[in-house]
Structure 1
């Protein structure tokens, strides 16, 4: 196979041919940016040299082609669309050396300059893909389609101070005023029953919720929330104080301070979650919590009434309904503190995840903000040489194609190295340190040490704690390291990291693994391939003979080959 200088071109911003080109391009799973290239060109004219300024947003496109004389392999071509990062002029040689990189570099350049943290990621806690896409939109990019995703909720313990939030057994704790009050079968909310209020059209109609302070404390802020449903559209007017179809709080402390939620839409069958947030001042003498109909004839049902302390944590939904009957999730556990439906309810965070994690801090790059998120859940984010962005599962992702290298044949040299000291460990400790918005220094430890471990790697990260997971994943990743084969071969322009790799060497069992990195020598028509996750395959094995026509590499048994992704910070 040959790659000639005539088969390599470099173009600046899609218009200016940079003439004779020499250099190399590297694609590496463990790198960010994922694709990097070093080129040498002849010193161009003054106008072109002026345009080759990395301080401006310039791009270089490398186009390479390859032919395979006398073989059945079709001609290959590949292009690399990369950003210009560095320029060095060698006047003695009349040459210019250029450093290029894929678009992760743009996220590294994008540093938040606002005076306050950016909390926009908290709006998309249900999908890490959506959070990533929001960041990529800043540079005019978006993720390619894919299924790899994770929730990333900010978590906080809470107590629902209302002992009877869903009226499941009785109406204890609720007192009617100017209306009929009953339990009714609910067609909404989380419980089977709801509190039903029927106004008479002449008197102020409401239900008082609870009594006294209900466990609230002076100097703190609380949120009262409930789900209301209009069963029969209300006719009439607001009550004498202008309150209708919503929640009302009166706080008495010398003088009375009132709060009122938004009103429900007055349409049969309409359901809304409404809430009020209010402060409890020092010297408080009384608090009144009420659900109002107004002075109307009509029917409203109320369900999922919660009263929780509002600590003001960005990203926490203080209107969320819960009780001790709420089903546990991977994030929260729920329990009654006493008798079900007659005691407060506790919501307990099952993951220690810092609320600061989704706060993009001033002075932090977009890449540094995103990296701990996808790493902590075992995902990998990278941009390829065509400016396509991918979010993939780091433990299962396999790129299309299979690289087969054979000596003698298309493989020139092979170096097989096994080391305990290089990139291998079977236990990990991750120390997170960061400064919270209130200025306090925070520290959390994530560790993973299975029985019989012999070597621990310490990661020290200056970032908010994302919850446990990275330590275990780092150990799993390291299982595929320690043994590597570096391979020098004829260049195959279809090779990319994460492809299946099969190697046949003289007097050695065949090797099966994964391409970790490929370095193309664009001048000599050669490549160097680095591997990971290597497994010896005995002669006659199905893995050597080939795959069945209806099977792919992903169909292999999990214990046949572990595919691991390098997530070294």
Structure 2
């Protein structure tokens, strides 16, 4: 029986006027690569389109449709056909079908050809950038890499979201923070100054953290409050080390124990900020905005409703020229009201978590360690400041897009640190996959019946392709203008592969381990060329049956179709020697349950014939 095989490759573009243009493909390559972005790259040579007229004339509309600046898509369809001479039956075997971006067009007028480069939609992330003068944060949904990717796609103008099969990862960034208050949990009471009210520093009827809270009750005047830290207005009294020109945030959880029946402070008409049931940062400054001597910054007010609980905050940049700064927890009603305060924090900065949205989660030096942070007192417990120290260095800059930076350059190292691969397949579906474990059905087999070339190279002196350890170096300039350098490393073997990323923020550990995992088993490299099978894809299993050596099995990493020669180059990873009869060599359709109940592993035929 004689079977004839041939391929047909077609390219078409529909222009803005809905006119469809078709092009003759003279040759080129179609490459699928798990390690390169975009995932699919087609570099084709097309015949210069001509009008069907005499004398011949260029089809200008068809030529213009290939101009990358028009942002049109080219539809590529490559189909492999088989014709059985004995039966006269023609059928298609497999095909490549994709709507691709036109990345580049080069006209060779002498040869009468056009070279085009077509790619999947990752190209848009590589070319779209932050066009503003301000950095753009993608930390709002940093607990989900899927959500981050969807946010990036939307910002880049890609009208797609990730496929439901995507594998998520937590890429929460971390930062060191100091809680400047020396007894934020109000443990065992608090040394404070009470003004126009009575203060109970050990109220156990309610607490947000620990076992008790501060209660301000029995106000004798509307301007009723408790002072934390120094109570004197004398010059030089800067509570908890606050300094002019710096920005601080005071955070606390408050509860209304008894609603006020009198008048809130201020009494009205003075232009003062509302202080009742609020946290206040108060400064002394000649020429201040309030009464020519003060600057006041107040949080939102707790609702005047019994049982109302809220976590509130106030952020203030201490004015230059201030001579003193102090903190007040307000009752602020003329009668009856009782206000409880607990879980207090004073931090430098905006008081937000690294997502830039939520207030900092309360902590002190006794807070138990988490997966992300450890906590400690700077001195005696409940009498000193406390710190939050990252256990994973994952800088917030890693999810920040700088002005002029393209989306892919920000996202790529974050993906690598998480061990993920973001790809847009030929069908236009975006998915986030585990870069090592991801697989697709099928096996790419190269053997005597379809191989046209095969080389077998074992070389342990090439650290870019064969390595037992990896070191990754990141260098970038932070928002403060300082150059930062971080390293990530994995493995203990030799040789060592060094990967350097310039102008990329440190995304946390993981990239080195990911690169090392993808490189395992690369001591042996088989370069194989076989007759084209348009159904072959990266992430499929790979099987190479070569002369005078055991069968090699691994994973297909790169498939390159040569349209001119009707051949494909297959690059693999993780090749291992596989003896005859190994289960991995069983045909895809064979299952153990198909065998006779009496069949044993030792009795299994090497060709699995007693299971079929």
Q: Normalising by the residue count of structure 2, what TM-score does the alignment of the two structures yield?
A: 0.80
Deviation at 1:150, TM superposition (A): 3.5
Worse-matched range after superposition: 471-480 or 377-386:
471-480
Q: Secondary structure at the match of 1:237?
A: coil
| Paired position in structure 2 for 1:481 | 522
- Change over 3 Å in CA distance of 1:171–1:505 after alignment to 2: same
Per-residue displacement from partner, 1:376-400 (whole Å, max 9, x unpaired)? 23222222222222222223222x2
- Change over 3 Å in CA distance of 1:394–1:339 after alignment to 2: same
**Selected match of 1:229 from 228, 235, 255:** 255
| Paired position in structure 2 for 1:288 | 326
**Selected match of 1:129 from 143, 146, 163:** 146
Task: Give yes or no for contact 2:280–2:327 (8 Å, CA) kept in 1.
Answer: yes
Q: Secondary structure at the match of 1:60?
A: strand
Q: Secondary structure at the match of 2:405?
A: coil
**Selected match of 1:521 from 537, 540, 562:** 562
- Change over 3 Å in CA distance of 1:308–1:92 after alignment to 2: closer
**Selected match of 1:90 from 84, 105, 108:** 108
Q: Secondary structure at the match of 1:356?
A: helix
Give RMSD over aligned pairs. 3.2
| Paired position in structure 1 for 2:188 | 169
Task: Give yes or no for contact 1:425–1:457 (8 Å, CA) kept in 2.
Answer: no
Task: Give yes or no for contact 2:13–2:20 (8 Å, CA) kept in 1.
Answer: yes
| Paired position in structure 1 for 2:469 | 427
Deviation at 1:315, TM superposition (A): 5.3
Q: Secondary structure at the match of 1:55?
A: helix
Per-residue displacement from partner, 1:530-553 (whole Å, max 9, x unpaired)? 1111111112222223677499xx
Q: How does 1:81-480 map to 2 (within 5 A)?
A: 81-118=99-136, 120-137=137-154, 138-139=156-157, 140-146=159-165, 148-173=167-192, 175=194, 177-179=196-198, 181=200, 183-185=202-204, 189-198=208-217, 203-211=222-230, 213-219=238-244, 220-240=246-266, 242-254=274-286, 255-280=293-318, 284-295=322-333, 296-310=335-349, 319-398=360-439, 400-420=440-460, 421=462, 423-448=465-490, 450=492, 452-480=493-521
Distance in 1, Cα, partners of 2:44 & 2:515: 34
- Where structure 1 has 5 or more consecutive residues not aligned to the other structure, the ranges are 552-569
- Change over 3 Å in CA distance of 1:550–1:169 after alignment to 2: farther
- Change over 3 Å in CA distance of 1:151–1:216 after alignment to 2: farther
Worse-matched range after superposition: 510-519 or 8-17:
8-17
Per-residue displacement from partner, 1:454-492 (whole Å, max 9, x unpaired)? 444352533222333323333333324342223323333
Which structure would you say has the larger RCO, counting Cα contacts within 8 Å and 6 or more residues apart? 1
Mapped pair 1:21 → 2:38: no
**Selected match of 2:43 from 33, 38, 45:** 38
Which has the greater radius of gyration?
2
Distance in 1, Cα, partners of 2:46 & 2:187: 78
Per-residue displacement from partner, 1:322-361 (whole Å, max 9, x unpaired)? 1112222233210122333332211123334444333311
Q: Secondary structure at the match of 2:35?
A: coil
| Paired position in structure 1 for 2:65 | 51
Distance in 1, Cα, partners of 2:510 & 2:262: 57
Distance in 2, Cα, partners of 1:214 & 1:262: 21
Q: Secondary structure at the match of 1:81?
A: strand
- Where structure 2 has 5 or more consecutive residues not aligned to the other structure, the ranges are 50-58, 232-237, 268-273, 287-292, 594-612
Distance in 2, Cα, partners of 1:301 & 1:381: 49
Distance in 2, Cα, partners of 1:234 & 1:550: 77
Q: Secondary structure at the match of 2:517?
A: helix
Distance in 1, Cα, partners of 2:370 & 2:5: 57
- Change over 3 Å in CA distance of 1:247–1:91 after alignment to 2: same
Distance in 2, Cα, partners of 1:186 & 1:67: 81
Deviation at 1:94, TM superposition (A): 2.7
Q: Secondary structure at the match of 2:488?
A: strand
Deviation at 1:525, TM superposition (A): 4.3
Worse-matched range after superposition: 436-445 or 49-58:
436-445
Task: Give yes or no for contact 1:383–1:389 (8 Å, CA) kept in 2.
Answer: yes
Deviation at 1:503, TM superposition (A): 2.9
Q: Secondary structure at the match of 1:84?
A: strand
**Selected match of 1:66 from 76, 80, 94:** 80
| Paired position in structure 2 for 1:559 | none
Distance in 2, Cα, partners of 1:311 & 1:260: 14
Deviation at 1:98, TM superposition (A): 1.7
Worse-matched range after superposition: 517-526 or 64-73:
64-73
Q: Normalising by the residue count of structure 1, what TM-score does the alignment of the two structures yield?
A: 0.86
Worse-matched range after superposition: 466-475 or 514-523:
466-475
Distance in 1, Cα, partners of 2:211 & 2:543: 60
Deviation at 1:514, TM superposition (A): 0.5
Q: Secondary structure at the match of 1:215?
A: helix
Distance in 1, Cα, partners of 2:547 & 2:398: 52
Q: Secondary structure at the match of 1:528?
A: strand
- Change over 3 Å in CA distance of 1:185–1:146 after alignment to 2: farther
Per-residue displacement from partner, 1:37-91 (whole Å, max 9, x unpaired)? 0222322122211222112201111123334456999843331211111222233
- Change over 3 Å in CA distance of 1:517–1:267 after alignment to 2: farther
